[in-house]
A and B are shown apart, each in its own frame.
Chain A
Amino acid sequence: MWPELGNFALILALCLAGLQAIIPLVGAQLGHDRLMHAGRSLAMGQLVFLALAYAALTLAFLGNDFSVAYVAQNSNETLPVVYKFTAVWGGHEGSLLLWVFLLACWTVAVAVFSKSLPKEVLARVLAVLGMVGVGFMAFTILTSNPFDRLIPAPPDGSDLNPLLQDPGMIIHPPLLYMGYVGMAVVFAFAIAALIGGRLDAAWARWSRPWTTVAWAFLTLGIGLGSWWAYYELGWGGWWFWDPVENASFLPWLTATALLHSLAVSEKRGGFKVWTLMLAILTFALTILGAFLVRSGVITSVHAFATDPDRGTFILGMLAVTLVGSLSLYAWRAPKVGLGGGFGWFSRESLLLGNNVLLVVACAAVFIGTIYPMALDALNLGKISVGPPYFDAVFMPLMLPLLFLVGVAPSLPWKQGDPMQAVYRLRWPFAIAVVLGAAWPLTVGAWNPLTALALMLVAWILITTGVDIVRRLGRRQGLGARLRGLRPSFLGMHMAHAGLALVAMAIAMVNTYEDERDVRLEAGETATVGGYDFTLLDVDRIRGPNYDATQAEVRVTRDGKMVDTLYPQLRHYDSQPEMPMQQAALNRGLTRDIYVSMGQHVGGGAWTMRLYYKPYMFWMWIGGLLMAFGGFLAAADRRYRLARDRSAVSEQQVRADQPRDFQEAQG
């Protein structure tokens, strides 16, 4: 009964989305108020029905209703209750339902928080979001309905993929989808601007917080996925350049470029056409990501089961998106205009550098991801493009980017003085060079590339600190000084510092990590990275729905006890043929110690994988800082104020920046 209700609610939501895609748009073209206002109610209705559908599927999981095919495939009687909630998005069909549900949430959020948007703009934004909703809901209902029945019902379901039975996995997909779906909002703003033919500073102010929040969610989602891969897969790696990882990384790169391009659009009225292009590209890349993950063209940990219809449908959706939005772009972009000019050494020019580097990096990753698939699809042979390719193209692009991060934030808009900048930054530069050169010596043998990376890390951290202090110093009294720090300013620096920490961790881990696969019998010791690992014992234990072999490994350093670690090899009842590793970690500020079990190799001997990973901890801290920097920046009061006086946008902006802006127009 519930599944049918859910199905019905889903179909109703699709119908409402269809109306939402048309009515407000027509209203905006005709200048008809009531039609435009319909968008908001339709979005609310959509959210209600999707929430109902989502609840129905959750109830099916909680009630062990194995007559629902999706439940039978992803759950069973013994699955712990918390995982029954999360299993709703553990497979392809349910995760799509979560996707459209989150899209409805974002749509309603836009409708509620953008009351002060001009009504035509809001109507167009909601209409575009309605179109996106139609696409994804039609995809769900036609090719991947989570409510499909399985008659006769099996007595028990199979199981949620054991890899997904993990706390990190509970929140990874929702965060990632929040990011993806948020990019649809940004796309909708861009299309609305194209339809209206107006892109001014006010537009950039409305879209900026949405973009920033979506980007922050995407950052969190990717970071969490990486963290999960690190401890759950038992391979000790945190990024594999796997096509599915790239699928989320590609839109992240263009979204990062978009954030910076939007800053120019807001502050200086520049990069307008380019900003729109980035918004379209970013959304298209999220659809491409859906294609990579859901069509079955690739086989990986993440990939869902294969069904050619799905791939065809998503490719169709991608084609419609690209053809539609790029035609609109070609037709309307000239009307939007280029925006203000700037000197060769200015914040704009460096942000342009940022954009070029990020987009080029995205293109390089795109080629490495798509090329093998294209060859395979055309039957031209099988090749694979592995981490060496990505490292070789990515690093040379990221090093100059890191350098720019240290310069651009303190540079004036429009025209900077290179000599003054050199003078102002000479001490930070000198200190960064010394620190970066000395830092590797504290960990191991000196390596020029690592030293260069660490110099850039120190460079960002120092210039960030200097810039914050400079901003503080202008006012009297500590309270006034702190108030002088706007959230958007602090958020930017927080995200930059986070990036620096991630870069630091990558440089350290890649250069100084120590990994050994060893064969140990009880009582034997192996040494990795200065730590002694002694295998004490191997036991069999029983978990809620699995049997595990658990090793007891004592870790000491110079005879002093560090920790006792218990890595496991789990055999889930549902998939006894498919053992899962559960690595054991001892985390520290300057190093992680990591043990995972291999195989039983006869007698009392086991193979074990031992790692020493310096500064790994900072990778996650850096990722969190980046995301929270984004949230902080989006919370800036300026965006709310901007909305209040949105109607006067263009004039207001000119009044704000009287001289610069008008010169720029001339």
Chain B
Amino acid sequence: MKRRNKRLGIVVSALAGLGIATALVLNAFQDALVFFITPSEVMAKTEMPERNFRIGGLVEEGSVIRDPQSTEVTFRVTDTAESVTVVFDGILPDLFREGQGVVAEGRIGPDHVFRAYNVMARHDENYMPAEAQEAIERAGHPGDAAGGY
């Protein structure tokens, strides 16, 4: 191959690579991006999004109910203004506690019950999950943060 052809070849393959990457990224982003919504924002919506998203806040005191026969757990997540009922089937993280910060990933049904497939608590006893913190701040100062999805 002549030098010019070679350079052309390299440019073409680089562009092809870039094109493939862009296509893959955009395609994957469409399905895999998980947005974050606070409980107040969830309750303010009349139409529920047909996709997975995250909610965050505090586990409401006294709201945790375990099903005696299975591993299903029901609890409420609050941002101090509003709260959302969450149902999760599985093992909760070690640091899951009433009154502590929590983030849940899943989708909401027409009955306004959030079915979580993943529940996260912070790894450290001292800190709140960033998203739980944000939910409470947004509830405290509505309109401050750019919310929504």
B residues less than 8 Å from A299 (CB atoms): 122-123, 127, 129-130
B residues less than 8 Å from A396 (CB atoms): 24
Q: Is the CB of B17 within 8 A of A389?
A: no
Within 8 A of A (CB), among B46-92: 54, 66, 68-71, 89-92
B94 to chain A, nearest CB (A): 5
Q: Is the CB of A360 within 8 A of B28?
A: no
Q: Which residue of A lies closest to B29 (CB)?
A: A389
How long is the Cα–Cα vector from A581 to B92 in the complex, in angstroms? 12
Stretch of A105-113, A336-344, A453-461 contacting B (4+ beta carbons < 8 Å) = A336-344
A438 lies within 8 A of chain B by Cβ: no
How long is the Cα–Cα vector from A381 to B94 in the complex, in angstroms? 28
A residues less than 8 Å from B9 (CB atoms): 344
B36 lies within 8 A of chain A by Cβ: yes
B98 lies within 8 A of chain A by Cβ: no
A382 lies within 8 A of chain B by Cβ: yes
Q: Is the CB of A385 within 8 A of B34?
A: yes
B64 to chain A, nearest CB (A): 11
Q: Is the CB of A359 within 8 A of B17?
A: yes
How long is the Cα–Cα vector from A386 to B51 in the complex, in angstroms? 14
Q: Is the CB of B71 within 8 A of A518?
A: yes
Q: Which residue of B lies closest to A575 (CB)?
A: B125
How long is the Cα–Cα vector from A598 to B13 in the complex, in angstroms? 50
Q: Which residue of A lies closest to B28 (CB)?
A: A392
A421 lies within 8 A of chain B by Cβ: no
How long is the Cα–Cα vector from A524 to B95 in the complex, in angstroms? 27
Within 8 A of A (CB), among B19-56: 20-21, 24-25, 27-29, 31-36, 54
A357 lies within 8 A of chain B by Cβ: yes
B3 lies within 8 A of chain A by Cβ: yes
A271-313 interface code vs B (CB 8 A; 1 in, 0 out) = 0001000000000000000000000000111000000000000
Provided the pairs A299-B130, A385-B34 are in contact, do residues A578 and B92 lie with their beta carbons within 8 angstroms? no
A539 lies within 8 A of chain B by Cβ: no
Q: Is the CB of B34 within 8 A of A386?
A: yes
How long is the Cα–Cα vector from A580 to B124 in the complex, in angstroms? 11
A384 lies within 8 A of chain B by Cβ: yes
B145 lies within 8 A of chain A by Cβ: yes
A363 lies within 8 A of chain B by Cβ: yes
A356 lies within 8 A of chain B by Cβ: yes
B16 lies within 8 A of chain A by Cβ: yes
B7 lies within 8 A of chain A by Cβ: yes
How long is the Cα–Cα vector from A599 to B54 in the complex, in angstroms? 24
How long is the Cα–Cα vector from A514 to B2 in the complex, in angstroms? 55
Q: Is the CB of B94 within 8 A of A580?
A: yes
Provided the pairs A381-B148, A384-B34, A602-B66 are in contact, do residues A356 and B17 lie with their beta carbons within 8 angstroms? yes
How long is the Cα–Cα vector from A381 to B131 in the complex, in angstroms? 11
A181-215 interface code vs B (CB 8 A; 1 in, 0 out) = 00000000000000000000000000000000000
Provided the pairs A342-B6, A381-B148, A579-B94 are in contact, do residues A517 and B28 lie with their beta carbons within 8 angstroms? no
- Among A342, A577, A609, which residue has its beta carbon within 8 angstroms of that of B91? A609
A357-388 interface code vs B (CB 8 A; 1 in, 0 out) = 10110011001100000000001111111101
A residues less than 8 Å from B21 (CB atoms): 360, 363-364, 393
Provided the pairs A393-B24, A517-B71 are in contact, do residues A388 and B32 lie with their beta carbons within 8 angstroms? yes
Provided the pairs A367-B25, A517-B71, A577-B125 are in contact, do residues A599 and B35 lie with their beta carbons within 8 angstroms? no
How long is the Cα–Cα vector from A445 to B25 in the complex, in angstroms? 30
A466 to chain B, nearest CB (A): 28
B residues less than 8 Å from A578 (CB atoms): 94-95, 124-125
Q: Is the CB of B32 within 8 A of A356?
A: no
B80 to chain A, nearest CB (A): 18
Q: Is the CB of B36 within 8 A of A383?
A: yes
B residues less than 8 Å from A579 (CB atoms): 94
Most buried by B among A163, A357, A386, A608: A386
How long is the Cα–Cα vector from A356 to B21 in the complex, in angstroms? 10
Q: Is the CB of B24 within 8 A of A392?
A: yes
A394 to chain B, nearest CB (A): 9
A352 lies within 8 A of chain B by Cβ: yes
A396 to chain B, nearest CB (A): 6
Provided the pairs A379-B146, A388-B32 are in contact, do residues A338 and B91 lie with their beta carbons within 8 angstroms? no
Q: Is the CB of A599 within 8 A of B92?
A: yes
Q: Is the CB of B130 within 8 A of A341?
A: no
Q: Which residue of B lies closest to A163 (CB)?
A: B123
A397 lies within 8 A of chain B by Cβ: yes
A153 lies within 8 A of chain B by Cβ: no
Provided the pairs A341-B3, A517-B71, A601-B66 are in contact, do residues A300 and B24 lie with their beta carbons within 8 angstroms? no
A474 to chain B, nearest CB (A): 30
A576 to chain B, nearest CB (A): 9
A640 lies within 8 A of chain B by Cβ: no
A519 lies within 8 A of chain B by Cβ: yes
Within 8 A of B (CB), among A508-536: 517-519
A414 to chain B, nearest CB (A): 10
Q: Is the CB of B127 within 8 A of A352?
A: no
- Among B10, B32, B36, which residue has its beta carbon within 8 angstroms of that of A381? B36
B residues less than 8 Å from A575 (CB atoms): 125
How long is the Cα–Cα vector from A608 to B71 in the complex, in angstroms? 9
- Among A338, A352, A357, A360, which residue has its beta carbon within 8 angstroms of that of B7? A338
- Among A338, A344, A518, A580, which residue has its beta carbon within 8 angstroms of that of B3? A338
A569 to chain B, nearest CB (A): 8
B18 to chain A, nearest CB (A): 7
Q: Is the CB of A300 within 8 A of B123?
A: yes
B147 lies within 8 A of chain A by Cβ: yes
How long is the Cα–Cα vector from A561 to B131 in the complex, in angstroms? 46
Q: Is the CB of B32 within 8 A of A385?
A: yes
Provided the pairs A580-B94, A581-B94, A602-B66 are in contact, do residues A383 and B129 lie with their beta carbons within 8 angstroms? no
A143 lies within 8 A of chain B by Cβ: no
Provided the pairs A388-B31, A519-B71, A602-B68 are in contact, do residues A379 and B145 lie with their beta carbons within 8 angstroms? yes
A607 lies within 8 A of chain B by Cβ: yes
Residues of B within 8 A of A (CB): 1-3, 5-7, 9-10, 13-14, 16-18, 20-21, 24-25, 27-29, 31-36, 54, 66, 68-71, 89-92, 94-95, 105, 122-125, 127, 129-131, 134, 145-149
8 pairs of A and B residues whose beta carbons are closest in the complex: A389-B32, A598-B91, A392-B28, A382-B36, A388-B32, A356-B17, A517-B90, A360-B21
4 more A-B residue pairs beyond the given contacts A382-B131, A397-B20, with a C-beta to C-beta distance below 8 A: A360-B17, A389-B31, A390-B28, A519-B71
13 contacts between A and B (CB under 8 A): A341-B1, A343-B1, A356-B16, A360-B18, A382-B134, A396-B24, A517-B90, A577-B125, A580-B94, A581-B94, A599-B92, A602-B66, A602-B68
